[in-house]
Each structure stands twice: as structure tokens, then as C-alpha cells.
Amino acid sequence: NKQGEQESKLIAKESSMTMTLGIIILLTCSLLITLLSLWLVNHQILHPIHKLITHITRLSQGEFQQTLSLQRQDELGELALAAEGLRDSLANTFAQIKSSTDLLDNASQDLQQISAVMAQGTQDQYSRTDMLATAMHEMSATAQNVAHNAATAAHAANLADHSAKEGEQVMQETI
């Protein structure tokens, strides 16, 4: 009986140690599986999401040169393809806006030059019009002088004619 009790205690002790060792192994395996899961989540999900966020942030700052290389066949891969499509579209739009801005700048410079030429032409036309008005005024004054002198000469001629007629009449009466 004593031997049975000792064997029973020994078996209970071994059983307890086996259970404790099993629990420790189970906890260790659980911890390793948890760490592996965290590493996989970080490597397979969080790292690509961070790359996408960085890429989209660069796009929002106008950096269209750098491409995103995520070769995946899941939702993150589709999101990466959509981000690349957005980059291409934004780069094309930016290039078109830059080209249009350059054309508009050139057209503005051309208009400025044309405007300067037109302003000079207007100034020249004003100067010529002013000279023409002065010449017309002088010619008008000269024409008035000629008309006045012609009127005076006509009046003098009339007086001379009248004097000649009076002289002729006096001569007729004398004869």
C-alpha cells in the first residue's frame, strides 16, 4: 500500500509537471504565432499601406515623377494601380496646364508688344492731326487775309472806277 501511494504521488507529480510543461509549451507557441502574425500583418498590410500613403502625399505636393511598385493581386494591389492611374492623370493635367500657361504668357507678351505699337501709332496720329489742324488754321487765316485784301482791292477798284467815271463825266462836260 505504501508503495502504491508513492507510485500514485509520483504519477501525480509527473502528471502535474507534464501539464505545467504543456501549458508552457502552449503559451510559447501562442506567443510565437502571435509574433509571426504581427510581423505578417506589418509586412503584408501596414508596410504597403504606408507606401501608398507616402506616394499619395507626394502626389498632393506635385511630385509626379516617382512611380509606385506594388506587385500584388489583392485589394492593396488594386489600390496601388488606382494610385498610379491618378499619378499619370495628374501628371498629364499638370503638363497641359503648364503648356497652356506658357502659351498664354507668350500671347500676353505679343499683345503687350502690339499694344505698345498701337499706342505709338496713336501718338503719331495725334501729332499729325495736331499739325494738320495748325496748318488748316494758318491756311484759314491766310485765306481770310487774301479775302480781306481782295475785298479791299475790289473796293479800291470800285472807287477807282467810280473816280474814272466821274473824271470821264467831267471830261464830257468840258468837251
User: Is the whole model's pTM more than 0.75, yes or no?
Assistant: no
- Which of 38-52, 69-83, 91-105, 113-127 is predicted least confidently? 69-83
Over the chain, what is the mean pLDDT?
90
Q: Rounded CA gap, 39 and 123, in Å?
A: 81
* CB 90 within 8 Å of CB 60: no
Q: Rounded CA gap, 45 and 52, in Å?
A: 11
Residues 52-77 have a mean pLDDT of: 85
Whether residue 1 is predicted with pLDDT greater than 80 in this model: the reply is no
Please report the pLDDT score of residue 4 as a whole number: 84
90 Cβ contact list (under 8 Å, min separation 6): 59, 64
89, HSE (Cβ side, Cα atoms, 13 Å): 7
Please report the pLDDT score of residue 36 as a whole number: 96
Whether residue 70 is predicted with pLDDT greater than 80 in this model: the reply is no
Residue matched to cell numbers 505699337: 117
Which SS3 state, helix, strand or coil, does residue 172 take?
helix
Residues 112-134 have a mean pLDDT of: 94
The proportion of the chain whose per-residue pLDDT surpasses 90, expressed as a percent, equals 54
Looking at per-residue pLDDT, the higher value among 101 and 82 belongs to 101
